[in-house]
A and B are shown apart, each in its own frame.
Chain A
Amino acid sequence: MLDASGLRYGVAGQPVILNDVSLTLEAGEWLGVDGVSGAGKSTLGQLLAGYLTPQAGTVTVDGAPPPRRALRPVQWLPQSPELAVNPRWRVKQILEEAWTPPDALRDAFGIESAWMNRFPQALSGGELQRVCVLRALVPGVRYLVADEISSMLDPLTQLDLWQGLRRVADERQLGVLVISHDAALLERLCARRLTLSEGRLRPSTRHGAPPAIAPKQSPASR
């Protein structure tokens, strides 16, 4: 279980961004978080993944603080993939930085072998996003923070990305925190949804209805 309790984070001289934020994410669970821009959604994601250190509160993974100098069990998938890759590396080196994904997974994410020898600026945003997602699915990763990863994708590519991710997450019992503005998408993907506003997390009240159709079997139905 990914457990964050009492997280607080702010920048000196500005109103505090997160104030006493707590959440839990079970293995295999999909949790949705929405909020207006600037509400601190990405900050929350980075705190959970260990990119930032909270000023108060703790993040634990399966009961222990995440290791600082080993594979991080919580991986943050950023909104802008072009900022998350080394522009001087070829796609093959980027994709295989931490592990070598099997061909079946490459196909599932629609990653073509013709891209391998290219530099990242020669891929479109959506193509590079799929490379970045697959790069993070190293065995040993337990939780993913998907920070608006499909907001720049067209509907078909978005569907493929989530179906690919859903399959891997179901198979390995990954917990996925989905950060998005898209209420319809969160309803499709996540059984539980929270809203971040004024530095606090609250249960989403606007969309109380359970998801009508899950894209694949939900973890609960297995």
Chain B
Amino acid sequence: MLEIDDLALQLPYYANWWRRQWAEVLCNVSLEVHPGEVHAVIGASGAGKSLLAHALMGLLPAPYRQTGRLTFQGQPLTAARQRRLRGRELALIPQSLSALDPLVRSQRQVSWAAKRAGHAAARVQHTARQALAHYQLDERAQQAFPHQLSGGMARRVLTAMAHVSSAQLIIADEPSVGLDPQQRDRVLNALAALAREGKAVLLISHDLRHALPIARRVTIMRQGRCVETAPAAAFEGDGHTLTTRYAQALWRALPDNHFSHPETQPAPHVA
């Protein structure tokens, strides 16, 4: 459904007021997301995961240089096509809670998403209420402004907005950050359910452990590059079937595995 072929991205930064330089933030990124599967993209902070999401949606701020090929449903995904498809065929669950309009009650914001996705105007409010209820947001939360919601509740509002659009590709950028286990499982299960309906889900996360149960394949990113794409089943035991050292280190650093660096254990205690 979505093919990313050798994507590279450069963003400007200013060494001083006058001199603009380009920093390479993504390089050699290639992956495929198929309908009916959850594809996880895992990486450290600063690995370029969110930039990848924004590049796919065409939401990067104006000066940037992008090379490589994006193909969505067999056709090139150009900037114009991204603009046309996002909110309808392409949906993003953004990472930042500031994506919510601080002056608008949550139910109204979900209604806007439903309207953009083409729901009939008369049904829009009902659809929004149902979607929010699906994520266990009660009437009080539905009528609340974003600053009145807890972090987990606000994230569920964002997920509900992607839920009401009938998108074929859903890019979930860190959808489970700051949620308690029940809510996290609920959101991840909702993503898995979307995949079972035949949609493609790109799950961007740093949370390897909780992405694994629902993902079919996992791409590990580091410093803007794809390190390894492995089936989710490769992450088990001490991860010996993983081909790269970095992927193994990531797996072993989890609190329920070794919680240590493989090469430096046991670290000397500095008093």
Contact = CB atoms under 8 A, between A and B. Distances in A.
Q: Is the interface of B mostly helix, strand, loop or mixed?
A: loop
A57 B214 CA distance: 45
Contacts of A187: 255
B271 A181 contact: no
B59 to A, nearest CB: 15
Contacts of B207: 154
A65 B125 CA distance: 50
Contacts of A79: 151, 178
Contacts of B251: 155
A76 to B, nearest CB: 15
B259 A154 contact: no
A155 B151 contact: no
A34 B249 CA distance: 27
A125 B150 contact: no
Contacts of A80: 97, 151
A154 B44 contact: yes
Nearest to A189: B255
A181 to B, nearest CB: 5
Contacts of B151: 37, 79-80
Contacts of B174: 152
Interface residues of B, number: 41
B184 interface: yes
Interface in B166-219: 174, 177-184, 206-209
A25 interface: no
A37 to B, nearest CB: 3
A156 interface: yes
Contacts of A36: 180, 182-183
B94 interface: no
B150 A37 contact: yes
Contact of B255 (A34, A123, A171, A188): A188
Nearest to A215: B259
B13 interface: yes
A180 B180 CA distance: 8
Interface of B: 13, 42-47, 96-97, 150-153, 174, 177-184, 206-209, 249-251, 253-256, 258-261, 267, 269-271
8 contacts: A36-B182, A37-B180, A38-B152, A123-B46, A152-B45, A153-B206, A158-B253, A188-B255
